[in-house]
Structures are given as C-alpha cells and as structure tokens.
Amino acid sequence: MKKDIHPTNYRFVVFKDMSNDYAFLTKSTVDTKESIVWEDGKEYPLVKLEISHTSHPFFTGKMKLVDTAGRVDKFRNRYQKFQDKQKK
C-alpha cells in the first residue's frame, strides 16, 4: 500500500441542507469559512448543501423543485420573449 495518500486533517463538521434546515454532524476534511454553534454548545465548521437525503426525491418519494440558480426563471423569461414575437 502507498503511504501518506490519505488526508490526516479529519475534524467534526456540520452539514446543513438549506432547503429544509436539516443539519447533521460528522467527520470530514472539507474546507469551509463558515461556522455554526451546534446543539452541544461547541462551534463547528459549516458546509451548506442544496440537497440531502431529507430533501432528495428518491428518498422522500415526492417530487420537489430545487432551483437555487434561477434556471426556471431564466427559461421562462426566454420563452416569454419567444411568445411575444409569435403574437406580433
């Protein structure tokens, strides 16, 4: 086996699903600039997620539109311009 290929800076990190405010604490090596005070009163690094197992349609059984980048609005605006040209 190769030596020194695995990261050594594991620490506790809070991952938070921003679509439903679900958060969980686990060990990770991910870098982040934000932090949060956890239920135990200690401060941990925070990683914000767009989707997790509590909001993903596969796990919830519900279809849910997650549009954080405004893709649907951009599409509607482009399509509206096309429809306006058709009406003229």
> Looking at the 3D structure of the chain, how many domains does it have?
1
Residue 62 is predicted with a pLDDT of: 67
Q: Which of 38, 39, 56, 5 is nearest to 13 (CA)?
A: 38
Neighbour count for residue 47 (Cβ, 10 Å): 17
- Residue type at position 86: Q
Task: Give me the residue label for tokens 């699903």.
Answer: 17
Structural domain harbouring 38: 11-87
Q: How sure is the predictor about 9, in pLDDT bands with cuts at 50, 70 and 90?
A: confident
- The two beta strands, 22-28 and 11-17, are antiparallel
pLDDT tens by residue, 31-84: 999 999 999 999 999 999 888 777 766 656 666 555 556 677 777 777 887 777
User: Is 6 domain-assigned?
Assistant: no
Q: Is residue 41 assigned to a domain? A: yes
Give residue 68's pLDDT. 57
